[in-house]
Amino acid sequence: MRHPKVLTRTLTAALGLGLAVSLGAAAPAGAAPDTAADRGAQAYAGYAGSAEEAKANQAFFDAVMTSVAKKRAANPSAAAAVTVVYSAANAPSFRTQIARSTQIWNSSVVNVRLVEGSNPDFRYYEGNDSRGSYASTDGHGGGYIFLDYRQNQQYNSTRVTAHETGHVLGLPDHYSGPCSELMSGGGPGTSCQNATPNSQERARVDQLWRYGLASAFKG
């Protein structure tokens, strides 16, 4: 579920803070975002998890959107399509999957583009976590995607990466969906190889980002 009023308030608050807090650069390069225990206190959305995680989608999307919003506020003449910048420096084992996920999303939607670069709006990390892969926030307002080694060996790794990236673009988990749906995540089982969003998912992302940040924050 989306909560437009909460989002709008959060954006206003974030912009009201000015540029004192650097949201996108909160996590130090080369380090894990937090300990597993610390991450447990944060909202997160897993690849194969419970419905309780659903609310975490909004926290992550909010963090990414706030970072993007600050950049666009500083550059009002930015292109109509919103650019979301990521760093893959902390997930070297998944460079191929991240590049493929980026290619999939950028060829599936038109109103938002993923680009690798400096001063990222979110980061990919890799490691071992019993909860598997997930999208989360680092406790400092920054969004990140964690890719779990074991889960990425069990499931199609490009699908896992593209699924978690779907959270960046605002899509919630829907574990009961079929394999043809990207946001069904681990629901269809380890045999599911589809790493491409279906037409409904594409349309939803383009709807969310249609007027840049304005529509995303108004729902």
Minimum CB distance to Zn ion, residue 208 (Å): 16
- Total binding residues for Zn ion by CB under 5 A? 3
Q: Give the residue nearest to Zn ion (CB).
A: 173
Instruction: Dig out the tokens for 114 from the structure.
Output: 């993923």
Q: Is 38 helix (H, G, I), strand (E, B) or coil?
A: helix
* Residue that has been written with the tokens 């290619």 in this structure: 103
> Which residue number, 90 or 136, has a Cβ lying nearer to Zn ion?
136
Q: Which of 62, 173, 181, 201 binds Zn ion (CB under 5 A)?
A: 173
Q: Considering only 10-18, 45-53, 91-99, 186-194, which stretch makes contact with Zn ion by CB under 5 A?
A: 45-53
The DSSP bridge partners found for residue 145 are 124, 135
Pick between residue 14 and residue 195 the one whose CB is nearest to Zn ion.
195
**Least distance in Å: CB of 46 to Zn ion?**
6
Q: Is 182 in the site for Zn ion (CB under 5 A)?
A: no
Q: Which is nearer to Zn ion, 173 or 181 (CB)?
A: 173
CB of 209 to Zn ion, least distance (A): 19
Least distance (Å) between residue 99 CB and Zn ion: 20
Residue 156 CB neighbour total at 10 angstroms: 18
The gap from C-alpha 100 to its chain's centroid, in whole angstroms, comes to 15
CA angle, residues 206, 88, 139, in degrees to nearest 5: 80
Among 45, 48, 56, 208, binds Zn ion (CB under 5 A): 45
Cβ 56 to Zn ion shortest distance, Å: 9
Rule CB under 5 A: which of 56-85 touch Zn ion? none
User: Is residue 164 flagged as an active site residue?
Assistant: yes
* DSSP calls for 128-153: --TT-SEEEE-SSS-EEEEEEHHHHH
Stretch that binds Zn ion, among 25-33, 76-84, 104-112, 183-191 (CB under 5 A): 183-191
Stretch (H or E) spanning 37: helix 36-40
Q: Which of 53, 126, 164, 181 is catalytic?
A: 164
Residue 33 CA to residue 36 CA, distance in Å, equals 9
Residue 129 tokens read as 């976590």
Question: In whole angstroms, what is the distance from residue 101 CA to residue 159 CA?
Answer: 8
Q: Closest Cα partner for 176 from 186, 166, 165?
A: 186
Applying CB under 5 A, the span of 16-24, 62-70, 110-118, 168-176 interacting with Zn ion comes to: 168-176
Binding interface with Zn ion (CB under 5 A) = 45, 173, 185
Catalytically active residues, by annotation: 164
